[in-house]
Amino acid sequence: MTPAPRLDQRQNGMFMRFGLPFGLAQAGPIAYMDCEKEHDFAFLPGPFALTEERIRLPMTDTAPTASPMPAPGPTEPVVVPRPDPATSDARIDLLGLSKDELKAALADIGVAERERKMRAQQVWHWVHHRGVTDFAAMTNVAKEMRGLLARHFRISRPEVREALVSSDGTRKWLLRFSDGAEAECVFIPEDDRGTLCVSSQVGCTLNCRFCHTGTMRLVRNLTSAEILGQVMLARDALDEWTAPTADRRLTNIVMMGMGEPLYNFENVKKALETVMDENGIQLSRRRITLSTAGVVPMMARCGEEIGVNLAVSLHAVRDEIRDEIVPLNRKWKIAELLEACASYPGANNARRITFEYVMLKGVNDSDADARELVRLLRHHRIPAKVNLIPFNPWPGSAYECSDWTRIERFSEIVFSSGISAPVRTPRGRDIMAACGQLKSASERRRRTARG
């Protein structure tokens, strides 16, 4: 039984606790939230609007059911298989299905062959173009059919455990999936675009030394529904379904959240195909960028089969240094990685490959490093742009960010060779939403509680 709402409010607004029914997109269990006020966080509009500025679920009875696993070795690509979802809802989630799978699922529940194609089109349109989560809203589908669909299917959204808005407008959602695993998703509004940073795994096996996500203990692949669910949820929150393809706020997607997308290729591919679908959200592949730390054998397939832009987390120009800070380099060296970039399908001067380069003081930020970067990109004839990322610190990180003058100097050297090298402005640092700061907030809390 859910406890009765409580009101336990301390003076001076430091901490307010009261019970609120927490009914998110789907009819889930009703939980009660702790709400803590911090004036630099703002409200979230849309269906996830909750009446407080910072929302948190208590850790007590809602802790993840999957027991934490020890992190696999530094270059181990095998992820822990997903445990059976601890959900009581046995209905099939339509979000995880391709068009063909949807047709097959309709056949399985007895939809006659002559109307299957039409029904599949209708349902797909409602789910992926109109964003509905309730079969009752599918007004052009006969009533009995809607009932049949609702008995066998559901249209999921990830559960939001925490929703934060930074003073710079960046939003972060901590999501909890049906087995209790958690991942984060970030929306970054800018003047001319709005970028959603999507996670592909819970945690990450790569253990890049400067990345907070790499310290998470629980690691598994996200399903295609869970990846797609992040986009759906952001569009819900941004109120994007009224005019599904006009005046978009969410204009770009980057697979730069938690995890290594090329270690979860099939699910990432399926989710992105759905996002790009001409009867769905219709986001152009040119507005989607997949970032990899360098899973060389999967890069060509990424270009051929998904066709999105590529970003590569290079971060160092000498193997000794890259072996250390991006341990995946021990498997695929810089030269091999750059060869795979040079032959990336679809890359040309109009569609360059982005090289991410985190600026770590005294590690990879010298003039010689900048010149070597230019030499390598030229030598491999890669249509490239460089994105310099000031290192975002996190509790316990062993590195410091390069000084601003050093970053500028590095940028100038690369620029003067004719390669664009802007410095990425850190966004959402105050809510730990910036690059490399993502790590399940509940895991952070557990660790803090343990001291």
Contact 232, 95 (CB under 8 A): yes
Closest alpha carbon to 314 in 344, 293, 297, 336: 293
Residue 204 annotated to the active site: no
Residue holding tokens 């996830």?
48
The Cα 174–Cα 438 span in angstroms is: 10
Name the residue nearer to ligand SAH (CB basis): 133 or 170: 170
For 347, the token pair is 């890359």
Q: Which residues bind ligand SAH (CB under 6 A)?
A: 206, 208, 210-211, 256, 260, 291-293, 313, 356, 358, 389, 391-392, 435-436
Nearest approach in angstroms of CB 146 to ligand SAH is 40
CA distance 106 to 164: 39
Residue with tokens 């301390």: 10
Min dist. Cβ of residue 166 to ligand SAH (A): 16
- The one-character DSSP state at 285 is G
Q: Is 184 within 8 Å of 171 (Cβ atoms)?
A: no
Catalytic-labelled residue, pool 184, 226, 240, 260: 184
Helices 367-379, 404-416: crossing angle, 10 deg rounding: 30
Residue among 123 and 326 whose Cβ is closer to ligand SAH: 326
Closest CB to ligand SAH: residue number: 436
Phi and psi, residue 326, nearest 5°: -125, 85
Query: How far apart, in whole angstroms, are the C-alpha atoms of residue 357 and residue 326?
Result: 11
Q: β-strand 309-313 against 288-292: which pairing, if any?
A: parallel
Residue with smaller CB distance to ligand SAH, 44 or 421: 421
Q: If you ran DSSP here, which 8-state letter would residue 27 be given?
A: -
Residue 401 beta carbon to ligand SAH: minimum distance, rounded to whole angstroms? 8
From the candidates 185, 211, 401, 435, which is the catalytic residue?
435
Which residue, 274 or 292, has its beta carbon nearer to ligand SAH? 292
The minimum distance between CB 291 and ligand SAH, in angstroms, equals 4
- Quote the tokens at residue 133: 């989560």
Closer residue to ligand SAH (CB): 17 or 285:
285
Which DSSP string corresponds to 334-351?
Answer: HHHHHHHHHT-TT-BTTB
**What is the closest distance, in whole angstroms, from the C-beta atom of residue 264 to ligand SAH in the complex?**
10
Closer residue to ligand SAH, CB minimum distance, 123 or 389: 389
Closest separation between CB of residue 289 and ligand SAH, Å?
Answer: 10
Measured CA to CA, the distance from residue 144 to residue 239 in angstroms comes to 30
Measure Cα distances from 387 to 315, 406, 414, 421 in Å.
Answer: 10, 15, 11, 6
Residue 435 catalytic? yes
Amino acid occupying residue 71: A
- Which residues are catalytically annotated? 184, 435
